[in-house]
Structure 1
Amino acid sequence: MKRRSLLRTATTLTAAGLAAGAPAQSTAAPRQRDDDAASLRVHVVLFDGVEELDLAAPYEVLAASDHFTDRTVDVRYVALDGPRTVTAAFGTRLRADRAWAPEQADVLVVPGGGYARRDQPGVWAEIQRGALPRALARAPRPGLTISALCTGVMLLSAAGLTHGRPCTTHHRAKADLERQGGVLKNARVVDDGDLVTAGGVTSGLDLALWLARRELGVDAALGLESMLEYEARGTVWTARRNNG
């Protein structure tokens, strides 16, 4: 049995038992997926030098969210240069089996990594190469949420997507983000509608939990927090909340 399936089953049974005042081993009817419900398609962008934690945390959380919703959640790794193997910051080799296709996604997640290592692969190298920022600049369309975490936000900045908009990034890149026109918010996650950003290496957990809550509902986020034994950290700044 897959680890997430086992954890989700245990979490569900425990919650059902507590709610009913019954032992945790009490059986509960399995969730029936609504085949008519629209799927949530998430593309996590890979590039050489990407930080392992930046890419793994959103993938894990959003893939696991499939267990706590009637909607189908499809999470994929994609690379701009088509299906290929990517070498991450600490040497992990990952296969992006899907080509770049933001028109087929509902949520695009851009991790960070390598912004400070300017002589090595990573965000800075991708900015200098230019291809990924240009592709990101062309990606926006109705129905697509573009999100990024840590220094991945600087790829969005290079694409012009954060200019004049509330956003955040890793603390060492905040001054650069602001100089490039971003409206810096000192929040863990900043939600400006179709642009969602998060700051810090571990913020992929909080970004993904917020996206799960926003797209799938509070119960899905609560289920994920229980399964992961992690509670979302920090305050989420949202345009809706701050602008009435």
Structure 2
Amino acid sequence: MHIQIVLFDGFDLLDAIAPYEVFTAAAMYSNEEVTVKLVSAEGKRLVTSGVNHLQIQASEKLDLSRKGIILIPGASGSVHDNGSYSVPVKLQQATETELSHLLKEAMMKPDILLATVCGGSCILAMDGLLEGRHAVTHHMGMDLLSATGAIPVNARVVDDGNLITGGGVTSGLDVALYLVERELGPQIAHAIEQLFEHERRGTIWKAEGNVPKESKHENTVEATRQPSTIQSNEIWDFQGKWDTIISTPIGKLSVLIDLSTNDGQIVGTAKQGEEIVSLDNPFLEGNQLKWSMKVTKPMRLTLKFSVSIDGNQMIGEVKAGMLPSSKLIGHRLT
């Protein structure tokens, strides 16, 4: 069994090193050859972690010709601001490197098992690689999985066939132990637990067995919200074409928003470049207009908008899961 743990600038140390130790211990207990490498998308280099900028040596380039396991850690940084040291920005930056192309190729290879710890699944999600797949990440990033079309599962470890994902930072131990059990057997995994004096915790969810009946109590307010009907005495004027700019952590996006009514219902479209998408369920809440919509650029996301109007000016914010809120400003064209 060959394991490659991928390091990228800003990676979380525990996400990577805890599995590294588990797999190294597996090599001691197994009659099967087990090798584990710390690699990077660029090749042999010192990789700066997100924990006090500690540098760890990646010994070689991620090799997709080697069958086995590829494990992607999450990032470490601030979760309370939108700056360059924040976790969402570091995860996004990882998708803008050669790692993005390598992971897309790895997902297509039948002899490669892809695993993630914490925000590692968000890297895959931001690249549109988890659409329709069951996955978990840190609890603060679960709504980002939804925004990218993944199916979030509240479990410690989620087994979706050739994709294994883990929850928050310490789940790296449980992900690695589960992989050892799956690939080498429960006795070896148990021996490692005893060695580390660690008892695995949380639920391991698998995409198999009978599907439970949907509970009516699980319906969210947003899912059951009815489209807003505009009353004749409402004077809040949002209709028209709006030229807007969304200031995201990865640059400014120009979006043309067209708002109108049809039989008393709010309707609209948004155009970014040549792509035109419909606004999903626009509704009024106080003096704000809110809606969601799916986009494919700069990544596949479901964005949630909240805007207000002052004359011919529009101002608001755009949110996608754990990604930092982006400011929106615009003016009416017609």
TM-score (norm 1): 0.79
| Contact map agreement 1:133 1:158 (CA 8 A) in 2 | no
**Matching residue within 69, 90, 106 for 1:139:** 106
Match of 1:74 in 2: 35
Deviation for aligned residue 1:168: 0.4
Distance 1:180 1:208 in 2: 25
Within the alignment, does 1:119 sit opposite 2:84 as a pair? yes
Q: Which residue of 1 aligns with 2:71?
A: 109
Q: Counterpart amino acid of 1:131? A: E
> Contact 2:133/2:160 (CA < 8 Å) preserved in 1?
yes
Aligned pair partner of 1:209 in 174, 177, 183: 177
2:202 matches 1:234: yes
**Bigger helix share:** 1
1:100 aligns with 2:62: yes
Decide which of 119, 125, 144 is 1:157's aligned counterpart.
125
Structure 1 distance, partners of 2:68, 2:208, is: 20
**Code of the aligned partner of 1:172:** M
State which of 47, 72, 78 in structure 2 corresponds to 1:86: 47
Q: Which has the higher strand share?
A: 2
Match of 1:55 in 2: 16
Residues 190, 238 of structure 1: 8 Å contact kept: yes
The answer on whether the counterparts of 1:82 and 1:98 sit within 8 Å (CA) in structure 2 is yes
CA 1:154/1:178 → structure 2, altered by over 3 Å: closer, same or farther?
Answer: same
Contact 1:112 1:122 survives alignment (8 Å): no
The DSSP-based 3-state class of the residue aligned with 1:102 is coil
Deviation at 1:66, TM superposition (A): 1.1
What letter matches 1:203 in structure 2?
S
Letter in structure 2 aligned against 1:222: H
Which residue, out of 154, 173, 177, partners 1:186? 154
Moved over 2 A (4+): 114-118, 158-161, 240-243
Where 2:119 maps in the other structure, the secondary structure is helix
What are the ranges of 5 or more consecutive residues in structure 2 without an aligned counterpart? 212-334
How far apart are 1:103 and its partner, in Å? 2.2
- Residue 100 of structure 2 aligns with an amino acid whose one-letter code is P
CA contact (8 A) 2:49 2:76 kept: no
Per the alignment, in what secondary structure is the counterpart of residue 2 of structure 2? strand
User: 5+ residue gaps in structure 1?
Assistant: 1-39
Paired position in structure 1 for 2:2: 41
Q: Report if aligned partners of 1:43, 1:105 keep a CA contact under 8 Å in 2.
A: no
Cα distance 1:240–1:69, how it changes in 2: closer, same or farther (>3 A)? farther
User: TM-score scaled to structure 2, two decimals?
Assistant: 0.58
Per-residue deviation, 1:224? 0.5
Give SS of 2:65's match: helix
Letter in 2 for 1:103: S
The 3 A distance-change label for structure 1 pair 143 and 242 is: farther
What is the distance in 1 between the residues matched to 2:132 and 2:65? 24
CA distance in 1, matches of 2:209, 2:30: 25
The Cα offsets for residues 59-84 of structure 1, whole Å up to 9 and x where unpaired, read as 11011111221111100011001110
Q: Distance in 2 between matches of 1:223 and 1:205?
A: 14
Cα distance 1:118–1:124, how it changes in 2: closer, same or farther (>3 A)? farther
Q: How far is the alpha carbon of 1:142 from its aligned partner?
A: 1.0
Give the 3 Å change call, closer, same or farther, for CA 170–238 of structure 1 in structure 2: same
The separation in 2 between residues aligned to 1:63 and 1:159, in whole angstroms, is 30
Aligned residues: 203
Greater relative CO, 1 or 2 (CA 8 Å, sep 6+) = 1
Residue type of the alignment partner of 1:110: I
Q: Output the CA distance in 1 between the equivalents of 2:100 and 2:126.
A: 6
Q: Is the 8 A contact 2:142 2:152 kept in 1?
A: yes
SS at match of 1:109: strand
After TM superposition, the structure 1 stretch with the greater mean CA deviation from structure 2, 60-69 or 233-242, is 233-242
Measure the CA separation in 1 of the matches of 2:159 and 2:44. 30
